[in-house]
Amino acid sequence: MRVSKNILIAGEAGQGLVTVGMLLTKALARSGYEIFISQGYESRIRGGHNTFAVRTGLGSIRAGVRDVDLLIALNRESIALHRAELTHDALVLVDSEHDDQAAKDEVLEADQKAPRNQTLHVPFAELAPGKVYHNIVALGIAARLLGLPESVTTTLVKETFVRKKADLVEKNLNVLHASTAWAGKQAAAFEPLPESPKSAKRMVLDGNQAIALGALAAGVRFCAFYPMTPATGVALNLSNAARDLGLVVEQAEDEIAAVNMALGASYAGAPALVPTSGGGFALMTEGISLAGMTETPLVLVLGQRPGPATGLPTRSEQGDLNLALYAGHGEFPRAILTPGSVEECFRLTHAAVDLAERSQGPVIVMTDQYLADTIQAVPPFDLDMLSEPLRPTRNCDEPHDYNRYAFTEDGVSPRLLPGTGEHLVVLDSDEHDEDGHITEDLTIRKRMVDKRLAKERKLRETILAPTYIGDEQSDLLLICWGSTLGPADEAAEILRKEGRNVGLLHFRQIWPLLPEQFLERLRQARETVCVEGNATGQFAGLLRKEAGFSVSRSILRYDGLPFTAEDILRELNIETGQKLESRETMGR
């Protein structure tokens, strides 16, 4: 028996699939089930086809899957588009108004392909007084089929509509009850979810929301951005919280302005963050260099999508590792953190704010469309367990002798803020003396370069070691970074259940790298496979360069879709030794 079910809500943009998806997701989470939501703004055949996939069940669920157990087709096209993904026992919900011949043919075709596929023809028009209530019909039926308590959906609907017009709660509840009752009377066989244990309340969060929460918890007070998918959500979440939590969020005229504003704010004392995607990040590179030269703390969130140039704006890729690694002219230290889950999005963003202040320079948090839009149920973050991020000091004893770039042993100079005392804080993008003023003294130049680079030692002190799951020694070691953690972890677990000795090494920080943290493990494995979402194996290349270690092979995906465990397992069955074979299979 499959341990989880995959529910796919599919339809056109504007049909409210996210609304019904989110309600169903919350109902599942509140009922104690694990959830994993991946969203696709898919346009595989024609534009405007969107999906909201809810994978749910008991036990740990860390990635999406391709196979669909319950398809909620909000339009007819969705049946044709997804029938190849239906499992043997899958159930399809369609609007009974689509019971014309063409729809019947499509359903028939689907039935022929997988004989036990069943179709439930839902009389949306009868159950709902208008199209705006179709969401609630779908929610009622899906919840009933999955065996969720009606009390949970009732509470959710109340909460959702209570702040709107008074009679909306009642109208929606009527629709919900009618739909739930209707589903109860249908003969279609659909195995409900196994009974869930009681669980504590959890948050239903996507990657971008978790990043925003991490930033807020770390005391971020300034965010400047220029909208760009898939990173815009970070700024929108901060913006929604701005008034209550006391921060300034400004939509800048371009990404160049955004990054320079953030540096100005950071200089004046507001912990600052800029979210963007590859194209915007490219524009920000001069600002990253400025952060390096002026030793100004800055957190950049790089939500990757496939490039080059505009690429596939709504899809996912891990193709900007080299961009993040080398962005900005000149030589200066930086850190790059790569969360692999919604929870890590929170923790690593919090850590990034602290690290930026400690190292007085740029720290990049890298996600991608997949992780940005991934929704998971996570327990509320324990704020008391978080360490208080470092803050700049405000005053010094000898204000007239203060030098912003004073030479110190570890390269980190005491950072004061302008205007908080009689000291003067002088910052310059030119090479500068200890007091911050422009200099062309080449002896000082060399000392300043050394000072800035010395701070990399500071960064090395706090490198987050890659996490390892598996036995002490593994036959097969899967290596991943960032969002590939979920699918790789699941693939490893499936293989372990089959008796294979498989380890998983997840890099949540890809720069700086400290080979002593992982090299031995790489050497001990019989076979090492790097799984990453790009065409050229950028992380495998970085491992070669930094640790002198060449992985046995890479599994790469760069068609715009995220990995699933199934993909990785399929690729692993290919005979090893032909490194590039995997490219041809998935990159078409």
Neighbours of 468 (CB within 10 A): 16
- Taking the least distance from each CB to other proteins, the nearer of 210 and 355 is 210
CA distances from 2 to 55, 58, 489, 493, 568 (A): 12, 10, 17, 14, 18
Smallest gap from residue 300 Cβ to other proteins (A): 14
**Distance separating alpha carbons of residues 87 and 190, to the nearest angstrom:** 12
Q: Is 4 helix (H, G, I), strand (E, B) or coil?
A: strand
- Taking the least distance from each CB to other proteins, the nearer of 397 and 409 is 397
Smallest gap from residue 432 Cβ to other proteins (A): 9
Query: For every residue of 292-359, which 3-state class applies, written as one string?
Result: HHHCCCEEEEEEECCCCCCCCCCCCCCCCHHHHHHCCCCCCCCEEECCCCHHHHHHHHHHHHHHHHHH
Smallest gap from residue 437 Cβ to other proteins (A): 5
**Distance separating alpha carbons of residues 484 and 62, to the nearest angstrom:** 10
Smallest gap from residue 271 Cβ to other proteins (A): 8
- Taking the least distance from each CB to other proteins, the nearer of 266 and 474 is 266
Backbone CA torsion sign across 401, 406, 407, 413: positive
- Taking the least distance from each CB to other proteins, the nearer of 286 and 527 is 286
Residue from 295, 586, 283, 565 nearest 427 by CA: 295
Smallest gap from residue 26 Cβ to other proteins (A): 8
Smallest gap from residue 380 Cβ to other proteins (A): 5
Phi, psi angle pair for 506, to nearest 5°: -110, 120
Q: Exposed, middle or buried by CB within 10 Å (0-12, 13-18, 19+), for 90? A: buried
Tell me which DSSP letter residue 393 carries: B
Contact indicator for 199, 380 with CB cutoff of 8 Å:
no
Smallest gap from residue 74 Cβ to other proteins (A): 25
Q: List, in sequence order, every residue forming a beta bridge with 122; answer none if it has no partner.
A: 95
Task: Kindly state the tokens that stand for 299.
Answer: 């957190």
Smallest gap from residue 518 Cβ to other proteins (A): 33
Strand ranges across the sheet with 509-511:
248-251, 222-225, 272-276, 298-304, 362-368, 335-337, 509-511
- Taking the least distance from each CB to other proteins, the nearer of 213 and 478 is 213
- Taking the least distance from each CB to other proteins, the nearer of 272 and 555 is 272
Backbone CA torsion sign across 120, 125, 127, 131: positive
- Taking the least distance from each CB to other proteins, the nearer of 228 and 556 is 228
**Distance separating alpha carbons of residues 396 and 404, to the nearest angstrom:** 12
Task: Kindly state the tokens that stand for 114.
Answer: 């997988």
**Distance separating alpha carbons of residues 490 and 484, to the nearest angstrom:** 10
- Taking the least distance from each CB to other proteins, the nearer of 287 and 487 is 287
Neighbours of 255 (CB within 10 A): 23
Smallest gap from residue 267 Cβ to other proteins (A): 6
- Taking the least distance from each CB to other proteins, the nearer of 132 and 248 is 248
Contact indicator for 93, 192 with CB cutoff of 8 Å:
no
**Distance separating alpha carbons of residues 85 and 67, to the nearest angstrom:** 5
- Taking the least distance from each CB to other proteins, the nearer of 9 and 204 is 204
Smallest gap from residue 238 Cβ to other proteins (A): 11
- Taking the least distance from each CB to other proteins, the nearer of 292 and 487 is 292
- Taking the least distance from each CB to other proteins, the nearer of 124 and 267 is 267
Smallest gap from residue 222 Cβ to other proteins (A): 6
